[in-house]
Amino acid sequence: MGLAILLCVFGVGVVIGAPVAFAMGFAALAAFWYEGFPLLITFQRATAGVSVFSLLAIPFFVFAGEIMLHGGIAGRLVKLASALVGHLKGGLAMVNIFSSMLFGGISGSAVADISALGSLLIPVMKERGYRPDFAVNVTVTSSIAGIVIPPSHNMIIFAVAAGGGISVSKLFLAGVVPGILMCVCLAIAAYILSVKHKYPSEPFPGWAEVRRSSFDAIPGFFTAVIIVGGTLSGIFTVTESGAFGAVYAVLLTKFYYKDLSWESFVKSVTGAVRTTAMVMILIAFASSFAYLLALYQVPAKLSTALVTISDNPIMILLMINLILLILGMIMDMAALILICTPIFLPIAKGLGMDPTQFGIMMLINLGLGLCTPPVGTCLFVGCAVGKIKIEQALKSIWPFYVAIFGALMLVTFVPQVSLWLPSLSE
């Protein structure tokens, strides 16, 4: 009965449009009240949920992303991508995807990726004759790469949700190949559509321009090298790397690029505060919610139910993918990682899947949910930037869904895709 109250209150909260974080908090309150526990446990769990040392990396990553957005690093990465791949068929779509790989890799935020690159590239793509829905769909779907290409704050949330037994360094390495694979799949889809719609390619600017834009972008790209390299080398913890990366980004944009004004600094700080608060409050109340799910033994019950439906590992993995995909469509990523990891990770481990591989699979699934209504934050932001209706974007997004789904299946069923790179470092 307590579990029914928890899920019903939460379900009603989500359906009527209450903020998801508070719907989880209110559901937890109702369940604790029903069980006769003191209500303050909800808030004790919430405070404990955010007071986790590894999670301190989140504000640093988010802040570094904001500084890159407002301090001129994003623009330089687009210039580099333009010089490198702009001359291919559907050049600007390729630039968009390649820029997402570079920028998303540093900011780790899909929404920041769309805001930064979408506002730069979508208007230019429209001007050059690309259909607006194509421009939006390329931007939206390529932003998912940022979730798996390191450094990604979602990987840290996954490591925390898994109980601390998973190395963040291994997760960082495991995300590289799937991230690149996703971008390659998207580039193939964009290429085929570009040939079909006769989209133009940009003139090759010459090797001198490639060299110049590379030198200009490399110091900015070094932010990611500091964060990932610091963590992988074991010199810094992930939190220290994040802090160092954030300070480096400020110093670089202020004193080297000279693009960081006081106004853009304030914009970056307030932007980072808003995003961090939104993510952390979800983590806080998801902790209370996940505590109750564990108390009601939901992971064990669901595991038994899944095994009862089928004992074929392929079927079970497909079912887990489907459930994650559906959940990703209706809830936010951070909360889902905290709630679903304790439920599905033991099942995946039972099937012989490596926890790191499971983490990458989960992130791609939930990332795909960000591009799908009804929640689809990335799709909403992309459509707002591209000034088109969601229905318009949805009509032509399917080739990109197919591309990402292809990459997802490879990550799910070919362990080497995510585990090859970490195995080299062992």
**What residues make contact with other proteins under the rule CB under 8 A?**
13-23, 25-26, 29, 39-40, 42-44, 46-47, 50-51, 53, 55-56, 59-60, 63, 235-236, 239-240, 243-244, 246-247, 266, 269-270, 272-274, 276-278, 280-284, 330, 332, 373-375, 377
314: enclosing H helix or E strand: helix 313-330
Q: How far is the CB of 235 from other proteins (least distance, A)?
A: 8
Contacts 24+ apart (CB under 8 A), 308-316: 313/351, 313/352, 314/413, 316/347, 316/351
Q: What is the rounded CA–CA span in Å between residue 184 and residue 196?
A: 18
Q: Is the peptide bond before 203 cis (omega within 30 degrees of 0)?
A: no
Rounded to the nearest whole angstrom, what is the least distance from the CB of residue 254 to other proteins in the complex?
Answer: 14
For CA atoms 185, 409, 152, 372, the dihedral sign is positive
Q: How far is the CB of 401 from other proteins (least distance, A)?
A: 19
Please, which residue, 59 or 422, has the CB nearer to other proteins? 59
| C-alpha span between 50 and 54 (Å, rounded) | 10
Q: What is the DSSP letter of 54?
A: G
DSSP class per residue in 169-236: HHHHHHHHHHHHHHHHHHHHHHHHHHHHHT---PPP--HHHHHHHHHHHHHHHHHHHHHHHHHHHTSS
Is the CB of residue 423 less than 8 Å from the CB of residue 174? no
Nearer to other proteins, 273 or 410 (CB): 273
CB 60, min distance to other proteins, A: 7
In the DSSP assignment, the letter for residue 19 is -
In the bound state with other proteins, the residue whose beta carbon lies nearer, of 26 and 98, is: 26
One DSSP character per residue, 343-367 reads HHHHHHHHTT--HHHHHHHHHHHHH
CB of 275 to other proteins, least distance (A): 9
How far apart CA 37 and CA 40 sit, in angstroms, is 9
Helix%, strand%, coil% for the chain, nearest 5? 80, 0, 20
User: Residue 336 in contact with residue 10, Cβ under 8 Å?
Assistant: no
- State in angstroms the smallest separation of the CB of 39 from other proteins: 6
Cβ closer to other proteins: 216 or 240?
A: 240
> Which residue, 211 or 274, is less far from other proteins as judged by CB?
274
Under a CB-based contact definition with an 8 Å cutoff, are residues 72 and 34 in contact?
Answer: no
d(CA 50, CA 340): 18
Nearer to other proteins, 59 or 86 (CB): 59
Q: What's the closest the beta carbon of residue 289 comes to other proteins, in angstroms?
A: 14
> Considering the complex, what minimum distance in angstroms separates the CB of residue 400 from other proteins?
22
Nearer to other proteins, 27 or 94 (CB): 27
Tokens of 336: 């889902």
- In the complex with other proteins, which residue's Cβ is closer, 274 or 349? 274
The structure tokens listed for 263 are 């106004």
CB of 381 to other proteins, least distance (A): 12
- The residue among 243 and 290 lying less far from other proteins, judged by its C-beta, is 243
